[in-house]
Structure 1
Amino acid sequence: MKHIFSLVLTVLICLNFSAQGNRFTYEYQFRIDSTKTDSLKKEFMNLDIFPNKSYFYGQAQYASDSAMNHSIIQQRKSTPNSISYSSTTDEWNISYLIEKSYPGFKTTWFTNIEQTNMIVEETPVFKWNILPETQKIENYNCQKATTNFGGRIWEAWFSKDLPFPDGPYKFNGLPGLIVKLEDKTKSHQFLLKGNKKLKTEDHSWDYILGLQKEADHEFKGVKVSPAQYKKQYMSYKNDPAKDVKLDLADLRTTMTVTTESGAKLTSNAEVIKYMEESMGKKYKTNNNQLELNLHKK
């Protein structure tokens, strides 16, 4: 493995001589419910690579956040006490952002569990088994590698034609960019579909986070370890309506919920029962997360 490590260092040294960014676009297919074959979703993800770090995020969320933050900032300037916006969350499934810092690959995962924004910090170590098998994928000469991560067995195909020791999601550490990646069950699959050099107008997530800070005056998030994230997730899984219960514990708080059928629920008991049932169903069907070890006992 020593030769791989030296290759990674060489690549990173070369990258630092260039301030040019590179955007790699992946098609991500994933199955939300492991018990249903028709629960397959598809989304396009960007991996923006810069000399000192990379960002991995959903294209649709990026466009939505850009428009929304611009709108909020402009409204604050014209009507400071009256702000409205429309959400396009139905257009995207992936709401997280992953930042990897070079050369140590410290990973910062910006995500949320219900109403709590979370900043999960870690430095995952990938033990890759590089195999002699090669094939051409999306016109790139690729080589096979395998690893265990997140409670899954993964198969990756990386290309030395793309001299970046990075890849989709948190994956990194191979002597070339990961072109194709899938777990053994084939319920999570990434495939590189395009790339381009980034120009000044192709803003990175630094830009989005800056807009968010300006719009909200500060970035709100709780810094946690992966173990603390899992504890919080399991807490919500066991009591999915706990935020609603906490809100309604204040006697001054009232809540009206409109159900999918159009019915309006106003009593606290009705609201809590409905949220327990609907949120419980969400946690039951959303059972096939990429990192199984963070979302199951």
Structure 2
Amino acid sequence: MKLKYALILAIFAILNLSAQGNRFTYEYQFRIDSTKTDSLKKEFVNLDIFPTKSYFYGQAKFASDSITNNSIIEQRKSTPNSLSYSSTTEDWNTSYLIEKSYPSFKTNWFTNIEQTNMVVEETPVIKWQILPETKKIESYNCQKATANFGGRIWEAWFSKDLPFPDGPYKFHGLPGLIVKLEDKTKSHQFLLKGNKKLKAEDHSWDYILALQKEAKHEFEGVKVNPAQYKKLFMTYKNDPAKDIKLDLANPNHSMTVTTGEGKKLTNNAEIIKFFEELSARKYKSNNNQLELNLHRK
């Protein structure tokens, strides 16, 4: 069932009445390893909606980047030629940022594969089938819709009580905000848990990106389309130590790696073998990405 163009215009007319943003917080549950039923993880993600665009990102990632970028800027002021910072990725899994522009829903997916930062540019078309079934979810009156996207079959529940044709991740195009979303295997599930009006002190990703630009002078991301992203992902999957090999090939670079057991590796061949085995295990267990068609042959 296709949305009427007039309906879309009406919804965006409502959005543009105010420049104030809205933050919708979802609980995101996902299974990293499709072969292990106990690999289900959970974190909170935000969808910040403004009159001309929206941002989707992980809460923990947002907090981590806020601290890191503020630290970088302060260091640049005091010691311009020397920077030092530390960060951990163990506390969050949604490490990417998705920016959607209205009303075209052109999408910029800020992500990375190993040491390569990328901006994946696309305008995804999601063909929804809106069904008559309704029910109340998290106090919202919702209606059911289904679609095929990213190599998965999805079931969405949207609410016209929230007049935003948007949703978590890249999902959009329904006559109301997506309140609940899950794929057929229940490997990826989103549930709206809260929302609020954004105030000046509630920094959005505009603020984070501005800090990154100030700290690094520009975002060093390669612009690619989905097909190019997939090709690069498969290249790294087949040669997971690619970046390490390039670093060690530089005669001016030296490296010492301390393993989890405390062993120090300085020999290039041992270091490459260590990272090949480490990355191979990571790619093997992290096999259940949301968009399967971008991460499998």
TM-score, with length taken from structure 2: 0.98
CA distance in structure 1 between the aligned counterparts of 2:90 and 2:284, rounded to whole angstroms? 20
CA deviation after TM superposition for structure 1 residue 2, in Å: 4.9
Aligned to 2:288: 288
Q: Which stretch shifts more, 163-172 or 34-43? A: 34-43
CA distance in structure 1 between the aligned counterparts of 2:75 and 2:251, rounded to whole angstroms? 33
Aligned to 2:96: 96
Paired residues, what number?
A: 297
Aligned to 2:174: 174
Aligned to 1:269: 269
Pair 1:52–1:282, CA change in 2 (3 A): same
Counterpart secondary structure, 1:255: coil
Q: Which stretch shifts more, 151-160 or 254-263? A: 254-263
Aligned to 1:192: 192
Counterpart secondary structure, 1:90: coil
Give every structure 1 segment of 4 or more consecutive aligned residues whose post-TM-superposition deviation is greater than 6 Å.
none
Aligned to 1:225: 225
Pair 1:195–1:279, CA change in 2 (3 A): same
CA deviation after TM superposition for structure 1 residue 103, in Å: 0.3
- The aligned amino acid for 1:123 is T
Equivalent residues of 2:3, 2:175 under 8 A apart? no
**Identity of matched residues, %:** 80
Q: How does 1:135-284 map to 2 (within 5 A)?
A: 135-284=135-284
CA deviation after TM superposition for structure 1 residue 150, in Å: 0.2
Q: How does 1:107-118 map to 2 (within 5 A)?
A: 107-118=107-118
Note the residue ranges of structure 1 that are not aligned, 5 or more in a row.
none
CA distance in structure 2 between the aligned counterparts of 1:3 and 1:79, rounded to whole angstroms? 55
- The aligned amino acid for 1:229 is Y
CA deviation after TM superposition for structure 1 residue 212, in Å: 0.2
Note the residue ranges of structure 2 that are not aligned, 5 or more in a row.
none
Counterpart secondary structure, 1:179: strand
Per-residue Cα deviation, 1:79-121 (whole angstroms, up to 9, x for no partner): 2223222214221111100000000100000000000000000
Aligned to 1:83: 83
CA deviation after TM superposition for structure 1 residue 4, in Å: 4.1
What is the Cα-based RMSD across aligned positions, in Å?
1.0
